[in-house]
C-alpha cells in the first residue's frame, strides 16, 4: 500500500487540523459521544491519548490503523473496503494505478467521486495526477510508470465495472449502509464496527431498493423542468418498522445536490416540511377527542381566523363540507378551523404519541396544521403506519441481528417488543378509511385495492411529499430542489412573498404532493405489487359502526342518505337530518335530493 500511504506521509501530516494520530484516537479510541463533542476538554483528552499512542506504536503501525478506518467515499471505510468497493479486489492486490487513485480520495471523498458528476470525475482525475506526480518527485515510482498508470483508462473501467455489479455492491444502497453503520457504531463503538468481525444482518430488500431508486430518479427527471433536482423514498413494513428500502437522495455521489444528506430524515439534516400531510394529526386528535366525526360539516368559506386571513390552495370556498371530503380534497380552511377547535397542545400530543419527535415552533398558531414545521420522513411514515397496524407506534429499524466474531448474538430484532399501543384499533381503522379518499381522488382507486395515503405540498420546492400504505407496506416519497427554501417567491397569498437572495433563481411553478404521488409513489407501488400478492382489505373492527346520514347536516336518516362510519358511542349522529343546518344553509331538501359526498 505504498501508494495509499504516500499522500499521508509526503503530501500532508494533518487532516482537518488534526494529526493522523489524533484522527486515529478520535475514530478508534474515544467513544462515539465524546468524539462528536467540540470542547476544549475533549481536544485535550485527544492530545493526551495521541501522545501516549505515539510512545507505544511506531509511525507505520499508526498509519496502518488510520488507513483501516479512514473514509474513502461511497460507503467505504478503510483501505480494504475501498479496494473492494472501487475495484472488487483485496488491498494487497491493488495495482499502482488503483492504489494511487485511492490515495487521493480521503482528502475530500465527496468531491473526488469517480461515479459522480462530470465535475467530480474531472476532479478525481486531477487529484489522481497530483498523487502520481508526487510519487515521482519523491522517487517512489518512475515517471514512465506513473504515466502508464494514469493513461490506463482506470476510471472508465471502474464505471463500466460498477454498472455490471449486482445491486448489493451498488451505490444505490449507500444511504442505508451509512445508516446501519451509524446504528451499529452508536451501540458498539467504531472499533467494533470496523475491526470487531461483526456479522450484521439487515432488513434491506435489494429488489425493493432497486425499484425505489428507479422511481425516485424517474420522478426527478420528470419534474426537472419545474426545478426539481433530487428526491427520496422510504419503504418499510408497517407492522414492525423493518426498513425494506431507503433512497436518501437522487444520487449519493452528487455533491451538487448534496447527495450524501439522507432526505428520509434519519438524519436531522434531512428533515423537511410535510405540507398538508400534517393534517392527519389535526383530524386524528379531533376524532379521538370526539369533537368531530367523518360526517361533521366543516367551515370552508371563512378564511379569517384570529385576525389572520388565510386562503385555500385554489383560492376557492366550498361552504360547509363533511370532514371526509375536506381531508380527501386537502382543503386548508376546514383543517385550520379544526386545529383551532382542538388546540395545538392536543394535536402535538397526538403527533408525539405516534412517534414524531419534532418540536413544533408555534403550536398555538393554526397554520401549524399546514405542515410548515420540518419533520423526519421516517418518523412521519411510522406515525401513519399506526393507523394501518391497529394503533401501534413503531420505529423504523434497519438491523435484524448482530453477531460478534465468536458467534454470540449481541442483539436480535423482536417485532413484538418494538410495538407500543398508542391509539385504539378503531381510530386507526377510521383514519385509514378516511385516507383512502385522497388516493382515490388523485391517484385512482388502483382497482379497488386497499391503499390509503395523503399528499403534502410544501413551499418553494422544499420537499413535496406523498405517503401512505397498504396492509403490508408503508411508503413515503418526496421530490424537491435541495437549495430551494421559503425565501423563494410563491404564487399563494398565505406563503412567503419576499424576494430570493441575490444570485439564486427560484424554481418556477408549483410541484404538488399529488404530482409526487402520480409520478413516483403510485408507479412504485404498482411495480412492487406486480411481484407480490396484494393483501386483503382492512377489516372493520367491532368498535366502528356504520350509520346512514344525510349530506345536508350529517344527521341520521333512515333512507335516502349515505352510509358513514363512526367510532361506536363517540360522535354517532344524535339528531335527525335537517335539525342542525350549517350557518347560511339553504332550506332542507327531501332525502331523495341529498347528495352523497364524493371524496
pLDDT in tens, 319-332: 899 999 999 999 99
Confidence of residue 281 (pLDDT cuts 50, 70, 90): very high
Dihedral sign, Cα of residue 64, residue 66, residue 72, residue 78 = positive
pLDDT confidence of residue 28: 58
Domain segments of the chain as ranges: 2-165, 213-475+511-529
CATH class of residue range 213-475+511-529: alpha beta
What are 463-498's pLDDT values in tens digits?
Answer: 789 999 999 999 999 998 876 654 444 333 223 333
Find which of 145-154, 301-310, 458-467 is predicted with most confidence, using mean pLDDT. 145-154
Residue with cell 479486489: 89
Query: How many Cβ atoms are within 10 Å of 564's Cβ, its own excluded?
Result: 24
Estimate to the nearest angstrom the gap between the alpha carbon of 579 and the chain centroid: 47
Give one DSSP letter per residue of 471-533, joined into a string.
Answer: TTEEEEEEEE-TT--TTS--SSTTS--SPPPTT--PPPS---HHHHIIIIIHHHHHHHHTSSP
Report which DSSP code applies to 31: -
pLDDT confidence of residue 15: 43
Confidence of residue 10 (pLDDT cuts 50, 70, 90): very low
Buried b (16+ CB within 10 A) or exposed e, 102-120: bbbbbbebbebbbbbbeeb
DSSP-based three-state secondary structure for 299: strand
Instruction: Please determine, for residue 31, whether its predicted confidence score (pLDDT) is greater than 80.
Output: no
Find which of 141-150, 489-498, 499-508 is predicted with most confidence, using mean pLDDT. 141-150
What are 528-570's pLDDT values in tens digits?
Answer: 999 999 999 999 999 999 999 998 888 999 888 999 999 998 8
Percent of the chain with pLDDT over 90: 51
pLDDT confidence of residue 596: 45
Find which of 65-69, 273-277, 369-373, 426-430 is predicted with most confidence, using mean pLDDT. 426-430
| Nearest-5° Cα angle at 151, 146 to 153 | 130
DSSP-based three-state secondary structure for 235: strand
- The packing angle between helices 40-56 and 59-67, to 10°, is 120
Instruction: Please determine, for residue 337, whether its predicted confidence score (pLDDT) is greater than 60.
Output: yes
Cα gap 517→497, rounded to integer Å: 27
Averaged over 388-409, what is the pLDDT?
95
Instruction: Please determine, for residue 168, whether its predicted confidence score (pLDDT) is greater than 90.
Output: no
| CA-wise closest residue to 303 among 339, 341, 332, 343 | 332
pLDDT confidence of residue 252: 85
CATH class of residue range 2-165: mainly alpha
pLDDT confidence of residue 461: 56
Averaged over 374-394, what is the pLDDT?
97
Cα gap 477→265, rounded to integer Å: 12
- Distance (Å) of CA 145 to CA 9, 93, 142, 148, 448: 20, 17, 5, 5, 66
pLDDT confidence of residue 72: 85
Cell numbers describing residue 152: 490506463
**Cβ(383)–Cβ(431) under 8 Å?**
no
Lowest average pLDDT, out of 60-69, 119-128, 266-275, 445-454, goes to 60-69
pLDDT confidence of residue 110: 75
Averaged over 10-34, what is the pLDDT?
56
Backbone angles phi, psi at 409, to 5 degrees: -80, 110
Estimate to the nearest angstrom the gap between the alpha carbon of 8 and the chain centroid: 36
pLDDT confidence of residue 30: 55
Confidence of residue 308 (pLDDT cuts 50, 70, 90): confident
Instruction: Please determine, for residue 417, whether its predicted confidence score (pLDDT) is greater than 90.
Output: no
Instruction: Please determine, for residue 148, whether its predicted confidence score (pLDDT) is greater than 70.
Output: yes
pLDDT confidence of residue 56: 75
Q: Which residue has the higher pLDDT, 415 or 522?
A: 522
Instruction: Please determine, for residue 70, whether its predicted confidence score (pLDDT) is greater than 60.
Output: yes
Confidence of residue 78 (pLDDT cuts 50, 70, 90): confident
pLDDT confidence of residue 539: 97
Average pLDDT of the chain is: 84
Cell numbers describing residue 486: 421559503
Averaged over 51-71, what is the pLDDT?
74
- Distance (Å) of CA 461 to CA 102, 198, 231, 481, 507: 37, 41, 11, 6, 7
pLDDT confidence of residue 271: 84
pLDDT confidence of residue 41: 66
Cα gap 254→258, rounded to integer Å: 6
Dihedral sign, Cα of residue 200, residue 205, residue 211, residue 216 = negative
Which secondary structure element, helix H or strand E, spans residue 597, and what is its range?
Answer: none
Cα gap 58→195, rounded to integer Å: 20
Cell numbers describing residue 324: 371526509
Lowest average pLDDT, out of 54-58, 291-295, 472-476, goes to 54-58
Amino acid at each position: 500500500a505504498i501508494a495509499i500511504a504516500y499522500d499521508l506521509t509526503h503530501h500532508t501530516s494533518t487532516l482537518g487540523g488534526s494529526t493522523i494520530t489524533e484522527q486515529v484516537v478520535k475514530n478508534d479510541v474515544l467513544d462515539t459521544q465524546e468524539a462528536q463533542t467540540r470542547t476544549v476538554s475533549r481536544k485535550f483528552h485527544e492530545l493526551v491519548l495521541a501522545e501516549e499512542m505515539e510512545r507505544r506504536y511506531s509511525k507505520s503501525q499508526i498509519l496502518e490503523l488510520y488507513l483501516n478506518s479512514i473514509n474513502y467515499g461511497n460507503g467505504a471505510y478503510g483501505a480494504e473496503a475501498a479496494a473492494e468497493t472501487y475495484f472488487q479486489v483485496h488491498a494487497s492486490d491493488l495495482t499502482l494505478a488503483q492504489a494511487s487513485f485511492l490515495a487521493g480520495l480521503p482528502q475530500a471523498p465527496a468531491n473526488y467521486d469517480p461515479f459522480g458528476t462530470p465535475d467530480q470525475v474531472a476532479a478525481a482525475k486531477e487529484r489522481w495526477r497530483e498523487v502520481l506526480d508526487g510519487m515521482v518527485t519523491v522517487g517512489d515510482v518512475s515517471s514512465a510508470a506513473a504515466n502508464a498508470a494514469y493513461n490506463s483508462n482506470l476510471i472508465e473501467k471502474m464505471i463500466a465495472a460498477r454498472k455490471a455489479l449486482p445491486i448489493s455492491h451498488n451505490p444505490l444502497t449507500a444511504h442505508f449502509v451509512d445508516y446501519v453503520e451509524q446504528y451499529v457504531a452508536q451501540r458498539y463503538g467504531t472499533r467494533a464496527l470496523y475491526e470487531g468481525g461483526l456479522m450484521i444482518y439487515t432488513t434491506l430488500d435489494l429488489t425493493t431498493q432497486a425499484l425505489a431508486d428507479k422511481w425516485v430518479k424517474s420522478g426527478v427527471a420528470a419534474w426537472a423542468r419545474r426545478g426539481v433536482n433530487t428526491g427520496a423514498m422510504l419503504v418499510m413494513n408497517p407492522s414492525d418498522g423493518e426498513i425494506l428500502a431507503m433512497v436518501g437522495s437522487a444520487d449519493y455521489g452528487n455533491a451538487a445536490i448534496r447527495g450524501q444528506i439522507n432526505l428520509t430524515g434519519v438524519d436531522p439534516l434531512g428533515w423537511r416540511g410535510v405540507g398538508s400531510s400534517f393534517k392527519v394529526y389535526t383530524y386524528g386528535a379531533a376524532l379521538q377527542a370526539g369533537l368531530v366525526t367523518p360526517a361533521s360539516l366543516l367551515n370552508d368559506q371563512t378564511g379569517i381566523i384570529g385576525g389572520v386571513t388565510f386562503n385555500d390552495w385554489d383560492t376557492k370556498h366550498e361552504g360547509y363540507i363533511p370532514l371526509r371530503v375536506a381531508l380527501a380534497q386537502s382543503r386548508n380552511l376546514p383543517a385550520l378551523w379544526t386545529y383551532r377547535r382542538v388546540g395545538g397542545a392536543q394535536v402535538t400530543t397526538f403527533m408525539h404519541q405516534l412517534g414524531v419527535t419534532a418540536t413544533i415552533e408555534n403550536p398555538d398558531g393554526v397554520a401549524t396544521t399546514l405542515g410548515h414545521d420540518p419533520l423526519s420522513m421516517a418518523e412521519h411514515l411510522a406515525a401513519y403506519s399506526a393507523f394501518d397496524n391497529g394503533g401501534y407506534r413503531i420505529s423504523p429499524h434497519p438491523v435484524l441481528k448482530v453477531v460478534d466474531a465468536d458467534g454470540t448474538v449481541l442483539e436480535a430484532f423482536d417485532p413484538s417488543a418494538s410495538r407500543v399501543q398508542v391509539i385504539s384499533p378503531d381510530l386507526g381503522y377510521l383514519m385509514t378509511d378516511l385516507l383512502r379518499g385522497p388516493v382515490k381522488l388523485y391517484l385512482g382507486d388502483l382497482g379497488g385495492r386497499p391503499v390509503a395515503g395523503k399528499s403534502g405540498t410544501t413551499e418553494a420546492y422544499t420537499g413535496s411529499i406523498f405517503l401512505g400504505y397498504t396492509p403490508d407496506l408503508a411508503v413515503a416519497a418526496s421530490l424537491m430542489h435541495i437549495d430551494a427554501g421559503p425565501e423563494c417567491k410563491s404564487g399563494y397569498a398565505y406563503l412567503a412573498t419576499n424576494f430570493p437572495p441575490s444570485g439564486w433563481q427560484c424554481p418556477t411553478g408549483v410541484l404538488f404532493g399529488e404530482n409526487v404521488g402520480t409520478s413516483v409513489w403510485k408507479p412504485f407501488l404498482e411495480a412492487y405489487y406486480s411481484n407480490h400478492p396484494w393483501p386483503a382489505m382492512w377489516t372493520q373492527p367491532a368498535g366502528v359502526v356504520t350509520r346512514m346520514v344525510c349530506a345536508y347536516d350529517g344527521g341520521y336518516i333512515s333512507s335516502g342518505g349515505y352510509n358513514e362510519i363512526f367510532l361506536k358511542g363517540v360522535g354517532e349522529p344524535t339528531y335527525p337530518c335537517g335539525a342542525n343546518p350549517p350557518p347560511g344553509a339553504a332550506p332542507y331538501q327531501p332525502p331523495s335530493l341529498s347528495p352523497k359526498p364524493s371524496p
